[in-house]
Amino acid sequence: NAGVMQNPRHLVRRRGQEARLRCSPMKGHSHVYWYRQLPEEGLKFMVYLQKENIIDESGMPKERFSAEFPKEGPSILRIQQVVRGDSAAYFCASSVTGGAIGNTEAFFGQGTRLTVV
């Protein structure tokens, strides 16, 4: 049973380009979380999705950032017109359910390191 798969592992973009980060959850998992981590800092929540639904996007910047989790295929985090401040590690995690207890354990992918030059 493959774990959470993220790609690419490293992504370099010039200022103004678009970055697309992909996350395939573990088999049987229908809940996906995206987090951003700056060097020497904690994990900052960005967005929480279920299949075809955004449940909570309170951590997403209002502009340039969007996320989706279609019925088929991976979850995508899209950053338009990237700036140097977007450089960070972006982690995706998945869980079986989003309920209060039980089966809520979330497992992380290896992350995508985005560098904006």
Binding stretches for other proteins (CB under 8 A): 33, 35, 41-43, 45, 48, 55-56, 58-59, 91, 93, 98-102, 104-111
Measured from the CB atom, the residue of 41 and 52 that comes closer to other proteins is 41
- Number of other CB atoms surrounding residue 92 within 10 Å: 28
Closest to 111 in 3D by CA, of 96, 95, 89: 89
What's the closest the beta carbon of residue 7 comes to other proteins, in angstroms?
13
Name 32's Cβ contacts closer than 8 Å, sequence gap at least 6.
23, 25, 48, 49, 50, 69, 75, 92, 93, 94
Helices (H) and strands (E) in the chain, counts: 0, 11
Measured from the CB atom, the residue of 53 and 80 that comes closer to other proteins is 53
Measured from the CB atom, the residue of 7 and 110 that comes closer to other proteins is 110
Handedness of CA 77, 81, 82, 83 (dihedral sign): negative
What's the closest the beta carbon of residue 81 comes to other proteins, in angstroms?
26
What's the closest the beta carbon of residue 95 comes to other proteins, in angstroms?
8
What's the closest the beta carbon of residue 16 comes to other proteins, in angstroms?
28
Measured from the CB atom, the residue of 80 and 104 that comes closer to other proteins is 104
